[in-house]
């Protein structure tokens, strides 16, 4: 069981690196080139990389987490439940 859990976490980190960072980097470099006449050099790539990493973390590790939407729905349901509670109480 531990081996499976380790393997699953490793695959998730690899997915984060390839999909989140690499694709984000490529996408952002294309955008920079499309809207400006800047020459793509190491400084531009490093700047784009520093901008891409936080968004990759948010996207791949938080939003794409298997339980993210489930936890979000539970939180929403609790809010709706607490709002409806006073209406169901009998009056004395």
pLDDT, averaged in runs of 10, over the chain (92 residues): 70 77 89 93 94 79 70 61 54 54
pLDDT of residue 79: 54
Q: Which of 32, 8, 26, 23 is nearest to 56 (CA)?
A: 23
Cα–Cα distances in Å, from 75 out to 20, 65, 78, 83, 88?
Answer: 27, 16, 5, 13, 21
- Domain residue spans of the chain: 17-81
Distance from C-alpha of 28 to C-alpha of 32, rounded to nearest angstrom = 6
pLDDT of residue 67: 73
Q: Are 22 and 30 in contact (CB under 8 A)?
A: no
Distance from C-alpha of 34 to C-alpha of 40, rounded to nearest angstrom = 11
pLDDT of residue 85: 52
What is the widest separation between alpha-carbon atoms in the chain?
Answer: 76
pLDDT of residue 48: 92
Name the DSSP class of 65. Answer: S
Entry pTM: 0.54
Which residues 6+ apart lie within 8 Å of 21 measured at CB?
49, 52, 53, 56
């Amino acid at each position: 069981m531990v081996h499976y859990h380790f393997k699953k976490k490793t695959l998730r980190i690899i997915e984060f690196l390839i999909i989140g960072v690499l694709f984000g980097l490529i996408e952002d470099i294309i955008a920079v080139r499309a809207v400006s006449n800047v020459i793509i050099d190491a400084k531009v790539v490093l700047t784009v990389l520093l901008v891409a990493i936080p968004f990759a973390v948010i996207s791949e590790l938080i939003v794409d987490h298997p339980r993210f939407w489930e936890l979000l729905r539970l939180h929403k349901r609790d809010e709706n439940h607490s709002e409806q509670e006073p209406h169901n109480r009998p009056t004395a």
